[in-house]
A and B are shown apart, each in its own frame.
Chain A
Amino acid sequence: MSDRLSPILVKELRQGIRSQLFTGSFLLVQALLFLFGLSFVLSDSLQKDSNAGSVLFWTMLALPLVVLVPASASQAVEREVSGRTIELLLLTRLSSYRIVLGKWASIVLQTSLLLVSALPYVILRYFLGGIDVVRELQTIGGLLTGSGLLAGIAMGFWSLNVPRVAKWAAVMLLVWAAPVLLMMAVSPHGGFGAPVELGKLAWIYAILVMLVMVESAAARIGPPSENHWTRVRVLALVALGIAFFYDGAGGVLAAAAAIGIAFPTLVASMSENGRPLRRLHEPFLRGSILRRLALFPFAPSWPGGVAFAALLVLLVPFLPAVRGEMGPAAWIALAGTLFFPAALVRVVFRGSRPLLLYVVVLVLSSVPIYVYGFVESAGTSSLSVFLQSVSGFFAPLALVVELVHPDGYQGSELARSILTIVTAASVLVTALAARREWERVTSLFAAEESEP
């Protein structure tokens, strides 16, 4: 194969097309298509009702893909990790990102081979029944793109350090969601009655999710000397940036999707525990003060993560879908929600598993709120009173209540004061800790440079 192709792509294609999974899927596709072709030739009703014929044809083709793509994606990274061949790959010139990308491209190419093998049947249908060629090609494109997205996201899920059951559940959910996305993309009305704009937005965000998941898969297998944080943070910011261009129904979808991408990134950034390495930080320590300030939120390590979280917290209230809906109290609630666990984890606990601790504190900090809310709402059966009381403290729920409740923030004065004080203290403590750590990092590098 050509020297220009990625080595990983060459290897994965050599292995992939000889695997039982691929040959089995290929034979299944051919058998199903042959059956379809036979029934199409013999059945007048299928020839007359081109829509029914299309649905049957594409469903038959999509079914094997639903098996092939997640199964290939699940094996792609895990096989290298469990067989410990990943170490050999990482000692070559290939970065973990190129490794994951090559594996992803191989799955997409194998899917393309299956789809291309269906073209003779598309031509047969064209000659026997009046089909819309453009629509058929659109569907092939949609299936291919959908498979690519599914492969990337499934690879990302599979590389997460979670139980296998959870991985399968997530991938099955994706398999279920993929046709919805596909319909939204290829239907002239946007699919499921949704406007075309929403369909496009769904695709854009699906691509962003895929890129984030591919990066997280690379981060999982990569050596500690690689920086994956910067790219993930940029992607999260792009997701948020896109939401600024949409208002109305699209704006709500965009804001939800952007926050869905940004929130895990933000949580991970706030609890980052990577070893500060000079080679990773050097690009962020060069140039003018303005340049360094602008790049600081994208610098790997915890101080940069805190700056990135602060940037997102500052941007969220200005999203078109949120603007005007989110009062100062809700904004303070959001900041408190994110900074209180960060301050506690970094300054008080200083544990070796900051991400777990951060999430635990995030969840536990919500418990008193539920108790408080329960007491407040005792005697009334109103859910809204309960929710309003709950929103008086810092918790993710406060933001949700703020966004969905028609009366907006209704917490008590006391609750609001506590919220403000705790948030301010958390932000201050986190900022001071981040500054101290950043100074330690930069002085470490300065000391290394001064060594002979």
Chain B
Amino acid sequence: MSGRVVEVEGLERRFGTVAAVRDLSFQIERGQVLGFIGANGAGKTTTMRILATLDLPDAGRVRVSGHDVVNSPDQVRARIGWMPDSYGAYPHTTVWEYLDFFARAFGMKGEERRSAVEDLMSFTDLGDLREREMSSLSKGMSQRLCLGRALLNDPDVLLLDEPAAGLDPKARVEFKRLVRLLAEEGKAIFISSHILSELEEMCDAVLFIDEGRVVHHGAPASLKLSAAEGIIYSVTVASPVESLAAFAETSPGVELLERTRDGARLRVESSEPREVASILRRMVDAGCEVTDFRREEMRLEDAFIERLKKKGSSP
């Protein structure tokens, strides 16, 4: 049996005159975590909704575990777990009742239902919260509950739309652990997020789309490699940060990427040590009281922005 759980070929979706997704093709293997990156309106949610059978493609073919999303939506639904970006809590409903309801809705009965709910409460560490009302749960607890619900039907594929948004650091770490655990169990995981550093740690590959088209598909490192032009330096100054910004603005080959609390992140076009040393000297001469100057590894966020810039400047 093929390891491909999700196969997308030439997917297109238009809303009136706007093309939300254009000629999108990709696959997800069993046990693979694929990150889905793109700016707002890039077509991420549309793609996920089509995969979840909640919308229809205008062209192309999408298969989940060998079943076509258009012609066999019931079979597809039985094989996917969907975790949307917005978590809708039911009023006057406890954690246990919520999972029990969805287990019933998936057709589970009697002991099978009870044991499935208990197993998931223990997997998502919600055992102590079974009688808590959903409305009183923290964001992290709610996300774990939502993940538990998405796992009730033991899906082949998990579609996670912005699952880490709004989580505190502890909850994020816990969430990442659960995702990796599920991937090890053989589930294919398709995960979209704006927090790219999270994806970098969680994903085996990333799919980067812009205006409905694939810009990059591959390992996170390959995206960074393809976007890498120049080297990033983190600079800390004792003088006001404005002096650093003013220096970057007037210096050719130096670009301000991001201001930090007491400095900035700069991209330097040249990797020549002499050229870098000369830049540092000019920086000091320009009045920047440099207390720290260190080379940094390119982050996925930087690669993402670089790729968007490249695309914007290409004809």
Contact = CB atoms under 8 A, between A and B. Distances in A.
A90 B76 CA distance: 12
Interface string B31-59: 00000000000000000000011111000
A10 B73 contact: no
B73 A3 contact: no
B149 A88 contact: yes
B88 A83 contact: yes
Interface in B234-261: none
B91 interface: yes
B222 interface: no
Contact of B101 (A7, A91, A93): A7
A92 interface: yes
Nearest to B98: A11
Contact of B88 (A85, A93, A352, A448): A85
Contacts of B90: 11, 15, 85
B207 to A, nearest CB: 22
Contact of A11 (B73, B93, B109, B149): B93
B175 interface: no
Interface stretch (A52-60, A112-120, A271-279, A381-389): A271-279
A279 B71 contact: yes
B52 A87 contact: yes
B123 to A, nearest CB: 19
Contacts of A450: none
Interface in B47-97: 52-56, 70-74, 77-78, 80, 82, 84, 86, 88-93, 97
A217 B45 CA distance: 25
A225 interface: yes
Contacts of B106: 92-93
Contact of B71 (A10, A88, A278): A278
B84 A87 contact: yes
A224 interface: yes
Contact of A352 (B16, B55, B74, B92): B16
Interface in A80-114: 80, 83-85, 87-94
A91 B86 CA distance: 16
A130 to B, nearest CB: 43
Query: By DSSP majority rule, is chain B's interface helix, strand, loop, or mixed?
Result: loop
Interface string B86-119: 1011111100010001101111011001000000
A84 B73 contact: no
Contacts of B53: 91, 223, 225
Interface string A153-168: 0000000000000000
B105 A89 contact: yes
Nearest to B92: A18
Nearest to A11: B101
Contacts of A224: 55-56
A92 B91 contact: no
Interface residues of B, number: 35
B56 A93 contact: no
Contacts of A94: 105
Nearest to B105: A92
A92 B102 contact: yes
Given A87-B52, A87-B54, A88-B82, A225 B101 contact: no
Contacts of B52: 87, 91
A448 B109 CA distance: 37
A279 B72 contact: yes
Contacts of A10: 101, 104
A14 interface: yes
Contact of A7 (B77, B89, B105): B105
Contacts of B77: 91-93
B110 A19 contact: no
B92 A14 contact: yes
Contacts of B86: 83-84
Nearest to B69: A225
A237 B78 CA distance: 35
B59 to A, nearest CB: 12
A15 B143 CA distance: 21
Given A88-B102, A277-B71, A279-B71, A15 B54 contact: no
Nearest to A82: B88
A90 B73 CA distance: 11
Nearest to B78: A93
A90 B54 contact: yes
B66 to A, nearest CB: 13
A3 B104 contact: yes
Contacts of B92: 14-15, 18-19
Contacts of A91: 52-54, 77, 80, 82
A352 B77 CA distance: 29
Contacts of B102: 88, 92
A8 B77 CA distance: 18
A84 B89 CA distance: 10
B91 A19 contact: yes
B52 to A, nearest CB: 6
A90 to B, nearest CB: 7
Given A91-B80, A92-B77, A279-B71, A14 B104 contact: no
Interface string A212-248: 0000000000011100000000000000000000000
Contact of A93 (B54, B93, B107): B107
Interface string A51-89: 000000000000000000000000000001001110111
- A-B pairs with the 3 shortest C-beta distances? A7-B104, A92-B105, A85-B88
20 contacts: A3-B104, A11-B93, A11-B101, A14-B97, A15-B93, A83-B86, A83-B89, A84-B86, A84-B88, A85-B88, A91-B53, A92-B106, A223-B54, A224-B56, A225-B56, A225-B70, A277-B56, A277-B70, A279-B71, A279-B72
Interface of B: 16, 52-56, 70-74, 77-78, 80, 82, 84, 86, 88-93, 97, 101-102, 104-107, 109-110, 113, 149, 153
Interface of A: 3, 7-8, 10-11, 14-15, 18-19, 80, 83-85, 87-94, 223-225, 275, 277-279, 352, 448
